[in-house]
Amino acid sequence: MSLIEDIEGLIIDAEFKNLKNFNKYSLLVKANDISKEHYKTKTDDFIIDPAGNIPEQFRLPVEIVSSDLRRDRIVNMFEGELKNVVVEDYFIRTISILDILLEEIYSAILRDQGKEERKISEEVGFSPKKLPHVLLAEIPKFKTFTNSKGFGVVDYFYIYEIYRQYRHAIIHSNGTLNERHLKKIKNTCTTLTSHTGQEFKYEDLMFIKDNKIELTLEGMAILRHWVITFSSSMLTSLSK
């Protein structure tokens, strides 16, 4: 198998992972909605004990049952914050699948160059001089390909870098973009504007409101479309 065939296989595998990933989280959203409707129909007052199903040997000496986990509070949680948790986790896992894909592509390239596994593990990483843009030097077709709208693999890399900053904010700062996130995102917008000839403004980016990441069910569909289009562009570029 040639290096290009190996890389194509990695991209196709990542596409399947992303589609399966979306399906799982769509089912979780559906389960959330079913649970919400179930508890809405309850007329009696009740309290749910989240630790109730924990095996006896793993329970704490004193388990505290929160008194606010009653019917109305539970319904509100299913309508809002629990659904948000599902959507945010979908975003995190989607970007992580891309992380792994790009690491595997670069590892395959270095392996093809005869590098030892120890050296490969040292070189594979994300930084301005490494992933993702190091792949443009190693795979020239990534650098030259553009689709019918003039958007290329290079530009997808830039958007991906912005989404990695979103992911960092979700995990580390409860979705709030700090100064470091904002600087990197705004610099990337400037680069995208220069590279594509289209204006990319921080204020117009999806999933941001008042310097905070806001993801919705529609956002899940948007991200699904974006990530599959990204991987399809990489595949198409390799076939040119």
Q: pLDDT tens digits, residue range 76-134?
A: 999 989 999 999 999 999 999 999 999 999 999 999 999 999 999 999 999 888 899 99
Q: What is the pTM of this model?
A: 0.92
Please tell me which of 42-46, 79-83, 146-150, 187-191 the model is most confident about, judged by mean pLDDT: 187-191
Return the domain boundaries, the chain: 3-31+86-239
Question: pLDDT band at residue 153, thresholds of 50, 70 and 90?
Answer: very high
Residue 47: strand pairing partners: 70
Give me the sign of the Cα torsion angle 100, 104, 110, 116: positive
What is the model's pLDDT at position 22? Answer: 98
Question: pLDDT band at residue 47, thresholds of 50, 70 and 90?
Answer: confident
Lowest mean pLDDT among 56-70, 133-147, 157-171, 201-215: 56-70
What is the model's pLDDT at position 127? Answer: 86
Lowest mean pLDDT among 44-53, 148-157, 193-202: 44-53
Integer Cα distance of 187 and 158 in angstroms: 10
pLDDT tens, 202-236?
999 999 999 999 999 999 999 999 999 999 999 99
Q: Are 216 and 203 in contact (CB under 8 A)?
A: no
Integer Cα distance of 88 and 171 in angstroms: 9
Q: Answer whether residue 65 shows pLDDT above 80.
A: no
Question: pLDDT band at residue 71, thresholds of 50, 70 and 90?
Answer: confident
Q: Answer whether residue 66 shows pLDDT above 80.
A: no
Neighbours of 105 (CB within 10 A): 24
End-to-end CA distance of the chain: 18
Integer Cα distance of 234 and 130 in angstroms: 18
What is the model's pLDDT at position 189? Answer: 97
